[in-house]
Chains A and B, each alone.
Chain A
């Protein structure tokens, strides 16, 4: 049962890396939330306690419904449906996702197995999830996909927690969930404001907003510099 959940988790990572539709990506991340909630329900050794069920349900509600809902709202506001030109193409991203998966299998062989009762796939898949999240953040242009990458990374960290700890600490997990909720909430608002100010959510173009570094940023201000120079002459 756990194996199936973990393989599905690995597949959602790869699907995220290979898909260009932002709506589909959000749905995939929501599916990851469901998988993680189930995983946290199945993983612990002890009997099914009340707080575990509460934690799982909290996670399900937050990661599978609230966060995707917030992001979907931001998506509607931004009026984009696709990541047009990622820094790294989808086929190459898939290959890199596969490499990351291989790397995490290799790495986790070198970790001591703290939970021999769990499936040996937990740690590698969790590591691969973290890697995929990181990769999404650095390789995609749209701020929305980067927010998704953050969520995926957080999912991976949670899965690592499942793999390494005997018992999930209730308060810590609740705190993390709250943090994630606020982070996504703030990201949603930020996305909305970026979209309203600049008419796009391409995060890489925001670098032209940084302080003046000796010369004018090329793309945005070329025409104005020309006018300025002409004015001086």
Chain B
């Protein structure tokens, strides 16, 4: 275990709440406003952690376990994800499947915690979340298998260590298709705009936000922090795929990676400012299209 592995984990833990701030500032810029401070999520987390929690009498331990298990799952996922081409805290052959299932675990606990409240709205949000995830997951996994095929490694660290601009030169169409599919998955999984609107306060149209309505205090802080971590880990994969720059020095690589992450946040902000949310019936079509792109990339990878 090198020092860099620990640093890359700490970078994720510390900088993840920055991404929503950057997205919000970009949206504010497009709207001609000044916007929230970039560090707003840190303030929110601090405030929420200082509060007490209130639990309804109808909920069970499942409701309390939801945010904690989700946070644990995302921290483990963060440990698996390399910081650009540099090492990650945990690595072994096949850890990309563990990564996908950690995302699944987070979703499962968010969903059953929402169902545990017995609220009709939260049940509706849970149903939508599961429907969207069922379509986003194949797109994500097929994309991962394409990248694994192109680099010949089954661990996330191995994949992104070997991925370079030479891989891009030899398999540009396939990797471009995967990047496009992952962008859609990234937006869908993080409940961003073409799929879900993070700012809406109308329960009928919400997906992610409606599931966490009943959490308060430290639990809600966990939920917010978990979403920020999810944004970070999925963004890390996309940034490492799109910007496989090798500067020759570890610190340089990490700097390139961070630039990629922040640029991705700006792109997401731009997408949110220029697009409208899709009608709910059109969302599956978008995700199936992303899956089709990934599958096409897999065919391309298999033929060569």
Contact = CB atoms under 8 A, between A and B. Distances in A.
B292 interface: yes
Instruction: Name which of A4, A91, A101, A105 has the most chain B CB atoms within 10 A of its CB.
Output: A91
Interface string B281-298: 000110011001101100
A97 interface: yes
B299 A102 contact: yes
B289 A94 contact: yes
Contact of B289 (A3, A10, A14, A105): A14
Interface string A125-144: 00000000000000000000
Interface string A97-130: 1100110010000000000000011001000000
B172 interface: yes
14 contacts: A4-B172, A10-B296, A14-B292, A18-B288, A94-B288, A95-B288, A95-B292, A98-B296, A101-B296, A102-B299, A105-B299, A120-B303, A121-B300, A124-B303
A98 B299 CA distance: 10
Nearest to B174: A7
A121 B297 CA distance: 12
Contacts of A124: 299, 303
Q: Is the interface of A mostly helix, strand, loop or mixed?
A: helix
B2 interface: no
A105 B302 contact: yes
Contact of B285 (A7, A94, A97, A105): A94
Contact of B292 (A4, A98, A120): A98
Taking residues whose C-beta sits less than 8 angstroms from the other chain, chain A's interface range is 10 to 19
Given A3-B172, A4-B172, A14-B289, 18 more contacts: A3-B173, A3-B300, A7-B300, A10-B296, A11-B293, A18-B285, A90-B285, A91-B284, A95-B288, A97-B292, A98-B292, A98-B296, A101-B299, A105-B299, A105-B303, A120-B304, A121-B303, A124-B299
B177 A18 contact: no
A101 B289 CA distance: 14
A231 to B, nearest CB: 48
A99 B289 CA distance: 13
Interface of B: 172-173, 177, 284-285, 288-289, 292-293, 295-296, 299-300, 302-304
B225 to A, nearest CB: 35
B292 A94 contact: yes
A18 B304 CA distance: 27
Nearest to B284: A91
Nearest to A121: B303
A212 to B, nearest CB: 42
B90 to A, nearest CB: 34
Contacts of A101: 295-296, 299
A91 B300 CA distance: 22
Nearest to A97: B292
A4 B303 contact: no
A84 to B, nearest CB: 14
B172 to A, nearest CB: 7
5 smallest beta-carbon distances between A and B, as pairs: A7-B173, A98-B292, A91-B288, A105-B299, A91-B285
Contacts of A98: 292, 295-296
A90 B283 CA distance: 12
A178 B135 CA distance: 44
Contacts of B304: 120
B5 to A, nearest CB: 37
B14 to A, nearest CB: 40
A189 B17 CA distance: 61
Contacts of B289: 14, 18, 94
B288 A4 contact: no
A7 B296 contact: yes
Interface string A48-83: 000000000000000000000000000000000000
A107 to B, nearest CB: 12
Interface string A1-35: 00110010011001000100000000000000000
Nearest to A14: B292
Nearest to A102: B299
Nearest to A7: B173
Contacts of B296: 7, 10-11, 14, 98, 101
B278 to A, nearest CB: 13
A101 B299 CA distance: 9
A184 B94 CA distance: 53
Contacts of A91: 284-285, 288
Nearest to A92: B288
